[in-house]
Amino acid sequence: MAQCVQPSLDENSAASKQRFGEPIDPRDEIVAYLRAHPGAADSLEGIVEWWLPHQRYETAKSAIQLALNDLAAQGIVEEIILGDSARLYRLAMLPEPAP
């Protein structure tokens, strides 16, 4: 079985909230964006158009990684690590039942 690497996220992170279907407070997203981009400054329109979609992508990516890790740990999906460290996921191959 391939290695599973789980990002470290606390239970109050936006990714954890998204994973469990809780609404994400835009304040959390704005602060997360600013922490990742401390020199950023923009208008309301720019924040809505550029910052939040980017932050939601990053949050969704983390939540999806956690979901894939869970599915791999349960044996439902298989993670394949390629030579360049890229990771692929597929339905785990179940053993054939004995005749």
Six-digit token string for 51: 């910052």
CB 29 within 8 A of CB 14: yes
CA nearest neighbour of 12 among 1, 27, 34, 28 = 28
Lowest mean pLDDT among 15-24, 28-37, 61-70, 86-95: 15-24
- Band (31; pLDDT cuts 50, 70, 90): very high
State mean pLDDT over 5-15.
46
In this predicted structure, what is the pLDDT of residue 6?
A: 38
For the cut 80, the answer to whether the pLDDT of residue 88 exceeds it is: yes
Instruction: Report yes or no: 26 and 52 within 8 Å, Cβ to Cβ.
Output: yes
DSSP letter assigned to residue 47? I
* pLDDT tens by residue, 57-78: 888 888 889 999 999 999 999 9
